[in-house]
Amino acid sequence: MQRKVFCASAPSDVYRAVSTANGRERFWADAAPETNGVIAFRLADGRTDESRINDAVQDQRYQLRHFGRTLSFTLTPGEGGGTDLTLESDDPADCVEVVALLLRLKALVDFGVDLRNHDGTRTHAYADS
């Protein structure tokens, strides 16, 4: 299953958001430090995962094994600027989560906005947690 979004930001900005701890912690996770190719995710709902990075090609592709499924971010320079971003998951049940993740990423890189609610009592079934 894959979903796409257009970001007005350059591929380097989008790639930095998904490939660095600081970037991931601004739209995705409460904590996401990386050591030796493994990201220690801690999400707002308290779940944790040791996510192995499978592939990282600067400004083009970032793939990791995350909570038992593979997530692949593919970045393509948009015509006239910006980035066409595709997020693919090998789990068909991920549709809602993938769309929420893409929109939070776009809000961060294009507008500097964190769309998450940051309320620990509102995490289950909330797209903005």
Give the pLDDT confidence of 41-67 residue by residue, as tens digits.
Answer: 999 888 999 999 999 999 999 999 999
Per-residue pLDDT tens digits for 64-75: 999 999 999 999
What pLDDT shows up at residue 20? 98
User: Does the pLDDT of residue 128 top 90, yes or no?
Assistant: no
Closest CA to 24 of 4, 3, 57, 51: 51
Angstrom distance (rounded) from CA 103 to CA 27: 9
Contact 63, 72 (CB under 8 A): yes
Whole-prediction pTM: 0.92
Average pLDDT score, the chain: 93
